[in-house]
Homo-oligomer: A and B are copies of this chain.
Amino acid sequence: LLEQAGIRPTAPRLAILTGLSGRRAAVTAQELHHELRGGTRPAGLATVYRTLRALADAGVVDVFQRGAEEAFRLCGAGHHHHLVCEGCGTVEEVDAAEIEQWVARTARHRRFRVTSHHAEINGLCADCSPVKG
């Protein structure tokens, strides 16, 4: 996974990738750094920042804006959008096909040349929603 992204697999990087995997919510560089701090394979804060950025550039992780800071999360290949739970932070991916039609149509009407688009739904996931009746 690292090699295919052209990123040399070192101990700190593997630790970061491990910290990222199996996680449903996005994490901040700072958070990840703190987590790894206690473990057997710590990684310096700068390294965490550098690695996450590299992974983002390689398309291995998605980047989310969480207030003033950015959070990262391993993501599937291909274009997708997100449902972000404000309760537990979990992120679910959604296929982008339908949105893409809207994007294409809207762009055509405005003679706009699209380079990228982005859609996000915020709210509460099934687990975090108050149960009703």
State how many copies of this chain the complex holds.
Answer: 2
CA distance A126 to B111 in the complex (A): 5
Whether the Cβ atoms of B123 and A106 lie closer than 8 Å is: no
Whether the Cβ atoms of B119 and A114 lie closer than 8 Å is: no
CA distance A114 to B122 in the complex (A): 6
Whether the Cβ atoms of A123 and B113 lie closer than 8 Å is: yes
Chain B residues within 8 Å of A112, by CB: 83, 85, 92, 121, 123-126, 129
Contact bitstring A76-100, B, C-beta under 8 A = 1, else 0: 0000000101100000101000110
Whether the Cβ atoms of A125 and B99 lie closer than 8 Å is: no
Whether the Cβ atoms of B121 and A107 lie closer than 8 Å is: yes
Q: How many residues of A contact B (CB 8 A)?
A: 30
Q: Known: A98-B102, A102-B98, A102-B99. Is A123-B119 also a contact (CB below 8 A)?
A: no
A107 CB to nearest chain B CB (Å): 6
Closest to A104 in B: B121
Residues in chain A within 8 A of chain B (CB atoms): 65, 83, 85-86, 92, 94, 98-99, 102-103, 106-107, 110-126, 129
